[in-house]
Amino acid sequence: MGVQAVLFAGGVWLAWLFFGAAEVLTAIQLGFPAAVLLLAALIIKLSMGPALHTNRLMQELKRIELQIASLRQRV
One-character DSSP codes across 17-70: HHHH--SHHHHHHHHHHHHHHHHHHHHHHHHHHHHHHHHHHHHHHHHHHHHHHH
Percent helix, strand and coil across the chain, each to the nearest 5: 95, 0, 5
Q: Show me where the domains of the chain are located.
A: 2-74
Taking only the tens place, the pLDDT of each residue in 28-74 is 999 999 999 999 999 999 988 888 888 889 999 999 999 999 999 98
pLDDT of residue 52: 81
Give me the half-sphere count of Cα atoms (radius 13 Å) on the Cβ side of residue 74: 6
Determine the pLDDT at residue 23: 95
pLDDT for position 54: 87
In tens, the pLDDT along 10-41 reads 999 999 999 999 999 999 999 999 999 999 99
